[in-house]
Amino acid sequence: MTISMYAASVPVVRQQLGSLAGVLSKAASHAAAHKIDPTVLLQSRLYPNMLPLTKQVQIATDFSKGTCARLAGVEPPKFEDNEQSFEALQERISNTLAFLDTLSAEQINGSEERDISLSFGTATHQFKGMPYLLHYAMPQLIFHVTTAYAILRHNGVELGKRDFVGSF
């Protein structure tokens, strides 16, 4: 049995974003219950040279929509990166999930050999669809979702493995 490119991308991304939305919801409740200014959590980082929680969520949603869009051969939507509240981050996740709903399995399946080109500063990287998904995009997404989880856990939000893994 083989796994399709759609099955290896969209459902996995949806699960990761669902988990991310869940931990953000718990963080907002934690802040309210403990009378913590939400900005403290939103701007928290694991180490001074790492990006804060807000940016981790922005990057996770960017990888989610960008990865699936590139595999489908469509342009990903652009978001402003101006979220400054838990509610705004939840809306960003919802908007990303809504975009994923516009992509069909037929658009993504067969993208194993699709040429994907990404530019970072002055460098351009070329990928084929499957290595892009499995070796670049999914590890990036999981890294940023994991880092968001770790920032919140480090700051006392009561989270466990099930919060990260989500429902499946």
Residue-wise DSSP of 124-163: EEEEEHHHIIIIIIHHHHHHHHHHHHHHHHHTT----HHH
Residue 119 belongs to some domain of the structure: yes
Q: What is the pLDDT of residue 2?
A: 86
Q: What is the pLDDT of residue 120?
A: 84
* Of residues 52, 57, 44, the one with CA closest to residue 88: 57
Residue 98 belongs to some domain of the structure: yes
Q: What pTM was computed for the model?
A: 0.95
Residue 168 belongs to some domain of the structure: no
**CA 21, 15, 3 angle in degrees (round to 5)?**
165
**Range of 71's domain?**
5-163
> Helices 86-100 and 5-33 sit at what angle, rounded to 10 degrees?
160
Domains in the chain, number: 1
CATH of the domain at 26: 1.20.120.450
Q: What is the pLDDT of residue 151?
A: 98
Q: What is the pLDDT of residue 166?
A: 72
Cβ–Cβ < 8 Å for 24, 41: no
User: CA-to-CA distance for 10 and 112, rounded, in angstroms?
Assistant: 14
Considering Cα of 41, then 46, then 50, then 53, what sign does the dihedral take? negative
Residue 151 belongs to some domain of the structure: yes
Residue 108 belongs to some domain of the structure: yes
Q: What is the pLDDT of residue 168?
A: 63
Residues of the chain falling short of pLDDT 70: 1, 167-168
Residue 19 belongs to some domain of the structure: yes
Residue 96 belongs to some domain of the structure: yes
